[in-house]
Structure 1
Amino acid sequence: MIDEENPERLRQAFVGAMARVVSSVTIVTTDGPAGRFGVTVSAMSSVSADPPLILACINRRSPACRAIAENRVFGVNVLASTQRHVAQTFAGRPERGRPFDFGCARWRVQITGAPILEGSVAAFDCRLLTAYDAGTHRIFIGEVLEATTAPGDPLLYGERRYGRRVALAGPEPTPQSG
């Protein structure tokens, strides 16, 4: 139910509920005529496997937002649990060094030229297909031109802190036929 009398209460309830949602930590990057930028995001998802499409949501105030729109390419890098320092750097809160500094890690380029993080557990090299504004963010949908994986556990974020996967004790559940 929308609380029209107190929109701030609804906003706070929404932000608190979203903090309970655990997601992988990604760095969305771009490079081209508008410059080289990267930003830490948690709002990333697959859209389609046929054709391969992915989305990332970026605050419209971020310089990376404008650069992705102008460069028309982006990389989505799913961080390994050992890459927290990279997440902090591209969130603007480096543990050492300068914010948004690509010197905090090793990078490579694939098809589009967008930076791809060495050691990320998954990476997607994308050409921008379309973008939509929604509230404070822009939703970028990219056509995946290349996808790569590497061993390791993904870095997770939930309850306003970083974490990693922990297997539950006991046997794996088996699907029930029905």
Structure 2
Amino acid sequence: MDRSEPGFDAMSRANAFKSGMRRFASGVALITSAAAGHRAGLVATAISSVSTAPPTLLVCINRNASAHEVIDRSKVYAVNLLAAADLDLVDVFSKSARRAERVTSGDWQTQITGAPVLASALAAFDCKVVQRLACETHTIFLGEVLQVGIAGQDVDPLLYMDSAFRRLERAA
């Protein structure tokens, strides 16, 4: 169907958008935060660098996510880029029934903001929220990166594409 035709309704457009975005391979991250002794987190692929002066990352968080309120209240979050070896954490962070296990499974530390940082992350960015924007069902949080932790050199990233987790195959 030609997307410019009048018959291309909002539902068709939304489904086409989802199908198209599934083709976008991206790294997988755990977004974590802490407020008043409560730790929270979620799995995300909707992250992006914004600037290097100052270093800024954005995360898009659904307002229905349990971590949304914690990030909104604390004004801090960490972006933990997952290695392929951390695939088991995706199940913990994506299922509501396992919410109590989040930020307790794995080796967690804190840096400047107090947001939980995964020791085995490919890279972990400790951020303070400098701006928030409401957009439909989500909030876009822009965070100034205060500290970065980087894993060793030979670590394989966890990727997500076409509704499946993947590993990056190294060229010969």
Assess same fold via TM > 0.5.
yes
Which residue matches 1:28?
31
Which residue matches 1:127?
128
- Number of residues paired by the alignment? 166
Structure 2 runs not aligned, ≥5 long: none
Query: Is it true that 1:104 corresponds to 2:120 in the alignment?
Result: no
Which residue matches 2:65?
62
Structure 1 runs not aligned, ≥5 long: 170-178
Residue 132 to residue 74, structure 1, CA distance change in 2 (3 Å): same
AA matched with 1:82: A
Give deviations 1:11-33, integer Å, cap 9, x for gaps.
Answer: 11110010000110000000122
Residue 34 to residue 16, structure 1, CA distance change in 2 (3 Å): farther
Moved over 4 A (4+): 1-5
3-state SS, counterpart of residue 21 of structure 2 = helix
3-state SS, counterpart of residue 85 of structure 2 = coil
Alignment counterpart, residue 40 of structure 2, candidates 32, 37, 41: 37
AA matched with 1:92: K
**Does the 8 Å CA contact 1:24/1:155 hold for their aligned counterparts?**
yes
Residue 165 to residue 100, structure 1, CA distance change in 2 (3 Å): farther
Q: Distance in 1 between matches of 2:68 and 2:161?
A: 24
What is the RMSD computed on CA atoms of the aligned residues? 1.7
Offset, 1:168: 3.5
For normalisation by structure 1, the TM-score amounts to 0.87
**Does the 8 Å CA contact 1:29/1:37 hold for their aligned counterparts?**
yes
Alignment counterpart, residue 76 of structure 2, candidates 73, 77, 88: 73
Q: Distance in 2 between matches of 1:14 and 1:66?
A: 27
Bigger proportion of residues as helix: 2
Offset, 1:153: 1.4
Which residue matches 1:10?
13
3-state SS, counterpart of residue 70 of structure 1 = helix
Which residue matches 1:150?
151
